[in-house]
Structure 1
Amino acid sequence: MATSRSLNKVLLIGNLTRNPVLRSTSNNATVCTFGVATNDSWKDSNGNLQERTEFHNVVAWNKLAEICAQILSTGMLVWIEGELRTRTWEDSTGGRRYKTEIKVNDMKLLDDKGKKGIGIDAARSEGDSAEEDIVIADDQTTNDNTSVKSNEEKVTTNDDEEDDLF
């Protein structure tokens, strides 16, 4: 029997729409949430320029979450590689709620708003216990490579606060 192949990969280049929010889960995993906006433009059949902005909910975990919270701020241009994740939960009225987010695997800071020489390259390894390489450039002269472990943790609650967690 052949196994089917599939791909869940998201690539974004966009600007942060809100400052990162860093939280800890009940199991002491660190999670950082922030928004990224991407813009699209095209000419319609009359030759008029049309524009559309998409807003994305983004989630980073553990060491990468801590770094995102430390160096990112509203307006910065970032490159995000990740995967789509949809969470479901039951709200306080018994209704089923859904939220689709981008779980960050790799991130590069493209526009550092005056903090010259800072960049991140978090390379994802296979499996749930992904090992990530964090690279912080020092004025483009040297790179300091540090390896960290990152484990995603499932977070669940039974009320409307679930929507506010991320």
Structure 2
Amino acid sequence: MSTFLSSLRPGLRMANTARAFSTSPKHSLARLIITGRLGAEPELHATSSGQEIVRYNVASSSGPISNRHTSWFRVSHFAPEGPQRDFVLSLQKGTLVYVEGDARMSTWEDSEGHSRSTLNIVQRTIEVLRRPDNNGNSDESH
């Protein structure tokens, strides 16, 4: 009987140990993927510390055409001056994009004392899936 129990011990020891399956850094809270269209051209803004960031909105729609629901996401991009930042700033309204970003919820109290929350998304990558036609219209036929 003791031989049987000793053969189970390695398995029992493994059941009590924790395994980490993530290789992401500890400071990453959540990763979000958005596929949608730019609601306007991206804009360059300065933070309170003077750092320049690019901000843009992505609209993602779901559901049947008769009952379509659109969600809007505000995205920030902290690229330094250079080709990467210039690329994002050159995108037109209506461009279909695939964005991966880090997401974090922030909560604050507004001027009327109500608790408010917002989802902050910091872009990690962006890929252009389809550009609007020359008139700035989205190409929905494909």
TM-score range, shorter chain: 0.5 to 0.7
Paired residue type of 2:97: V
1:99 matched to 2:121? The reply is no
Higher share in strand: 1
State the shift of 1:75 in Å: 0.6
Q: Tell me the distance in 2 between the aligned counterparts of 1:86 and 1:65.
A: 25
Paired residue type of 2:30: N
Query: What is the aligned length?
Result: 109
1:19-67 Cα distance to aligned partner (Å, 9 max, x none): 222111132322222111112225xxxxx96432222122211335554
Single out whichever of 99-108 and 19-28 deviates more from structure 2. 19-28
- Please tell me whether the aligned partners of residues 21 and 33 of structure 1 are also in contact (alpha carbons under 8 angstroms): yes
Q: Tell me the distance in 1 between the aligned counterparts of 2:111 and 2:86.
A: 31
Give 1:53's aligned residue.
Answer: 70
Unaligned runs of 5+ in 1: 43-47, 116-166
Paired residue type of 1:13: T
1:62 matched to 2:79? The reply is yes
Greater relative contact order: 1 or 2 (C-alpha under 8 angstroms, separation 6 or more)?
2
Q: Tell me the distance in 1 between the aligned counterparts of 2:58 and 2:36.
A: 6
- Please tell me whether the aligned partners of residues 37 and 56 of structure 1 are also in contact (alpha carbons under 8 angstroms): yes
Trace 1:70-149 onto structure 2 (pairs within 5 A). Answer: 70-113=89-132
Higher share in helix: 2
Q: Give the CA RMSD over aligned residues.
A: 2.9
State the shift of 1:105 in Å: 0.6
Q: Tell me the distance in 1 between the aligned counterparts of 2:18 and 2:46.
A: 41
Report sequence identity in percent: 27
1:21 matched to 2:40? The reply is no
Q: Secondary structure at the match of 1:19?
A: coil
State the shift of 1:86 in Å: 1.6
Paired residue type of 2:107: T
1:139-159 Cα distance to aligned partner (Å, 9 max, x none): xxxxxxxxxxxxxxxxxxxxx
**TM value normalised by structure 2:** 0.60
Q: Secondary structure at the match of 2:39?
A: strand
Give 1:152's aligned residue.
Answer: none
Unaligned runs of 5+ in 2: 1-16, 23-28, 135-142
- Please tell me whether the aligned partners of residues 30 and 104 of structure 2 are also in contact (alpha carbons under 8 angstroms): no
**CA 1:113/1:91 → structure 2, altered by over 3 Å: closer, same or farther?**
same
